[in-house]
Amino acid sequence: MRIYAYYRVSTQTQAEQNGIEMQINEVERYCKEKGITLADSFKDEGISGTRADREGLNDLLATLEKGDKVIVQNTSRLWRNDSVKVMVHHEMKKCGADIISVEQPTYSINSKDPNDFLFNGMMELLDQYERMTISMKLAKGRKARAKTGNKPCGTAPYGYKWQGNNIVVDFNNNLVVKDIFEKYTQLRSLAKLKEYCDGKGYKTSTGKDFSKQSLKNIIENDFYIGVVTYAGKKIVGEHEALIEKTLFDRANEILKR
């Protein structure tokens, strides 16, 4: 468990002589009495507690992990309205953190407050809406890429690699793919093909020996002849084909038999 301090002042609180130094003194006195050692501290100066987009607060929330606590002079340093309060509660509960308030010794974000239920429900709906929006944007992006002949997403097939947003030939193992197709049409057996690959020392992208299934997947993958498949539709891709269609068809005919 780590304990972090958070300090905030706005123009109004500065006028009330409740500045950063006063908060630091109060928190340090409390920590000394309780034997607490702070892991770090965060602060926002000249920013209202009604704003959620505070650099210090955002850094604090991003740092928190399960079991961590945030010590403040008063919870009003963290928020000044219910919407920001619910946001802070929501983020802290997600990571399993809590609050220590010097002036509110019994305070905990886990205390039951009927007024929080409505706001928490609204936050959950907003989170869900945001996730759906992101998923829809990603799906549209994948669909647009597929329509142009680009592989929409995922891991590049063996023999290729991602270069930015495009898939290009991986010259470290593209010849292995060609050898697999050619040798299979000669051996006409996945078991014998595996033995051949093991003997040659061929490895998968993760450094493992090829299995019969992984070899079968390569032989069946028409990406190697320049085809992109998305949502059940096949279109001509923009990537370079590694295998001639005649060799691909011959290997797959043997596979079907």
pLDDT tens, 92-136? Answer: 988 999 999 998 888 888 876 665 556 555 655 666 666 667 666
Task: Yes or no: say if 191 and 185 are a contact pair by the CB < 8 Å rule.
Answer: no
Taking each continuous run of H as one helix and of E as one strand, the counts in the chain are 9, 8
* Closest C-alpha among 103, 22, 104, 95 to residue 60: 95
81 token code pair:
């309205």
pLDDT band per the 50, 70, 90 thresholds, residue 141 = low
Instruction: Say which residue, 131 or 68, is predicted with more confidence.
Output: 68
Task: Yes or no: say if 254 and 184 are a contact pair by the CB < 8 Å rule.
Answer: yes
Report the share of the chain in percent with pLDDT over 90.
45
- What per-residue string of b and e applies to 107-118 under the rule 16 or more CB within 10 Å gives b? eebeeeeeebee
* Closest C-alpha among 25, 26, 22, 60 to residue 41: 60
Rounded to the nearest integer, the mean pLDDT of the chain is 84
Q: Using CA atoms, how far apart are residues 231 and 74, in angstroms rounded to an integer?
A: 54
Helix 212-220 to helix 174-187 angle (10° resolution) is 100
What is the structure's pLDDT at 215? Answer: 95
Q: What is the mean predicted confidence (pLDDT) over 159-164?
A: 88
Q: What is the pTM for the complete model shown?
A: 0.46
Task: Yes or no: say if 69 and 60 are a contact pair by the CB < 8 Å rule.
Answer: no
pLDDT band per the 50, 70, 90 thresholds, residue 15 = very low
Using the predicted structure, report yes or no on whether residue 63 has a pLDDT greater than 60. Answer: yes
What is the structure's pLDDT at 181? Answer: 95
Strands 3-9 and 160-163, bridge-based pairing: unpaired
Q: What is the mean predicted confidence (pLDDT) over 162-178?
A: 88
What is the structure's pLDDT at 13? Answer: 45
219-244 per-position pLDDT tens digit: 999 999 988 876 667 888 788 899 99
Using the predicted structure, report yes or no on whether residue 17 has a pLDDT greater than 60. Answer: no
Q: Using CA atoms, how far apart are residues 243 and 158, in angstroms rounded to an integer?
A: 13
Using the predicted structure, report yes or no on whether residue 45 has a pLDDT greater than 60. Answer: yes
Torsion sign, CA atoms 168, 171, 197, 244? positive
